[in-house]
């Protein structure tokens, strides 16, 4: 006897939504076989139903097209709501209504889940509904399922992630000599690798949303997105890229998370990554995450982190799991609401740092920078004065707290030899 089809309502028919539909059409037979039952697209809601998405809907008999998303959520025949609208306000309202009516939800909306984690995952746990969100973290990379499935027997204690393709592409282009940050960003926008308003990407906020979800999944507790210190790549200069390369490093925008007996640490910032680390070789628009756990050791997952088909495939993978009756335990969702260890103050983080200071013509500028670092108890392993887009002093420090580095930078900025705001980037020894 053929099992009843899973009836699906899709909210949003843009990039991710159309990618999910394309995946269903391309691999329908294999998807149905793995799901153990047919998956039927019953309705699509979008404010724009006229634009050609490059996909035929003729294969879905009885498909309802509507501009009224509420109508789809309220339809008693629909089992699962896929939310690919994006944004916060409307998406939040629709997702909560779906969960409160007992419908399961699949979404790739990392901002929504990260900033309203307790409310949304709490609603799922309370109503006995399920949420699939593989596409929210890493696009086509199966990060969430790997932690919840093959790595379920491991305690993941540290995470390093390159989770934004726009930033990774820009930094790789700068390393190849394509120019300064603003110039490379404009080219990335022209090629479609960066949004017209790239703030979420280049500001590090997109990575922070993903890290909040991934860290909560790995550590089994609530992560407060508002407490994650976030720094993007807008201050990166060509000299930073060049100096890093000459000294055996590459600069990457990293999401970093760790867990100890007393606290968790979740942060996003540029970092110097040793060139022999696997993450240093993640190029272009690709993403990767390196997880360190007990007893498995280091595990790296790599792939396309965005785009219609990779993320659309992740959405369909969630549908398959729901069709099979998986992910029904409330424990999966309670982890995102569960109080746990406090989040560490970023000022307490200790690392080796790269420091860059724009200076004036004064002959004693190098000595002035070294004196300011010494006064803040920052040990220096290497320092030199260079001429590149203006005169600068660059240095590599010993291991020291972020608090001490910031004190030194404040002193340098107010010194008479300073010609601009000084800058520091931590060095991350991935895998330690």
Among residues 270, 304, 338, the one where a domain terminates is 304
We report the CATH number of the domain holding residue 256 as: 3.30.360.10
Which range marks the domain in which residue 385 is found?
Answer: 347-426
Tell whether 254 and 375 lie within a shared domain: no
Separation CA 181–CA 173 (nearest Å): 9
Q: Give the helix/strand (H/E) hosting 365.
A: helix 365-375
DSSP classification of residue 225: G
Domain membership flag for residue 325: no
Q: ω before 295 within 30° of 0 (cis)?
A: yes
Domain membership flag for residue 336: no
The C-alpha torsion from 68 through 74 and 83 to 14, rounded to 10°, is -20
We report the CATH number of the domain holding residue 370 as: 3.30.70.260
Residue recorded with tokens 């939310």: 83
Tell whether 127 and 218 lie within a shared domain: no
- Number of CB atoms found within 10 A of residue 127's CB: 17
Domain membership flag for residue 81: yes
22, 103, 110, 210: which one is catalytic? 210
Task: Reply yes or no on whether 186 is catalytic.
Answer: no
Among residues 101, 136, 171, the one where a domain terminates is 136
Per-residue pLDDT of the chain in tens (432 residues, 90 and over written 9): 368 999 999 999 999 999 999 999 999 999 999 999 999 999 999 999 999 998 989 999 999 999 999 999 999 999 999 999 999 999 999 999 999 999 999 999 999 999 999 999 999 999 999 999 999 999 889 999 999 999 999 999 999 999 999 999 999 999 999 999 999 999 999 988 888 999 999 999 999 999 999 999 999 999 999 999 999 999 999 999 999 999 999 999 999 999 999 999 999 999 999 999 999 999 988 999 999 999 999 999 999 988 889 999 999 999 999 999 988 777 889 899 999 999 998 888 899 999 999 999 877 899 999 999 999 999 999 999 998 878 999 999 999 999 999 999 999 999 999 999 999 999 999 986
């Amino acid at each position: 006897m053929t099992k009843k089809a899973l009836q699906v309502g899709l909210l949003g028919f843009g990039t991710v939504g159309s990618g999910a539909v394309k995946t269903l059409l391309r691999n329908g037979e294999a998807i149905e076989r793995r799901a153990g039952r047919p998956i039927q697209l019953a309705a699509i809601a979008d404010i724009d139903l006229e634009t050609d998405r490059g996909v035929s809907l003729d294969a879905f008999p009885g498909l309802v097209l509507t501009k009224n998303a509420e109508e789809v959520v309220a339809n008693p025949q629909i089992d699962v709501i896929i939310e690919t609208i994006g944004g916060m306000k409307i998406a939040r309202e629709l997702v909560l209504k779906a969960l409160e009516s007992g419908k399961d939800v699949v979404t790739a909306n990392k901002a929504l889940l990260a900033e309203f984690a307790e409310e949304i995952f709490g609603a799922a746990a309370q109503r006995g509904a399920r949420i699939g969100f593989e596409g929210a973290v890493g696009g086509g990379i199966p990060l969430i399922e790997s932690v919840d499935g093959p790595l379920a027997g491991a305690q993941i204690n540290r995470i390093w992630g390159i989770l934004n393709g726009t930033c990774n592409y820009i930094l790789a282009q700068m390393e190849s000599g394509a120019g300064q940050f603003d110039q490379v960003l404009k080219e990335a926008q022209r090629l479609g690798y960066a949004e017209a308003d790239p703030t979420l990407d280049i500001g590090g906020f997109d990575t922070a949303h993903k890290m909040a979800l991934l860290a909560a999944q790995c550590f089994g507790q609530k992560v407060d997105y508002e407490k994650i210190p976030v720094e993007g790549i807008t201050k990166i200069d060509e000299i930073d890229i060049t100096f890093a390369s000459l000294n055996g490093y590459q600069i990457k925008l990293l999401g970093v998370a760790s867990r100890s007996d007393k606290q968790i640490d979740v942060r996003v910032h540029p970092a110097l990554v040793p060139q022999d680390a696997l993450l240093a070789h993640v190029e272009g628009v690709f993403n990767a995450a390196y997880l360190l756990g007990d007893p498995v050791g280091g595990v790296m997952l790599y792939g396309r982190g965005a785009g219609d088909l990779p993320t659309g495939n992740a959405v369909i993978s969630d549908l398959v799991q729901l069709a099979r009756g998986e992910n029904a335990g409330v424990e999966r969702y309670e982890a995102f609401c569960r109080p746990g260890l406090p989040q560490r103050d970023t000022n307490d983080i200790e690392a080796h740092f790269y420091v860059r200071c724009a200076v004036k013509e004064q002959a004693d500028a190098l000595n002035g920078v070294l004196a300011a670092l010494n006064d803040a108890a920052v040990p220096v392993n290497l320092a030199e004065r260079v001429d590149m887009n203006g005169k600068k002093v660059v240095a590599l420090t010993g291991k020291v707290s972020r608090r001490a580095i910031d004190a030194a930078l404040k002193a340098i900025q107010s010194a008479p030899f300073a010609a601009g705001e000084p800058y520091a980037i931590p060095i991350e020894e991935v895998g330690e």
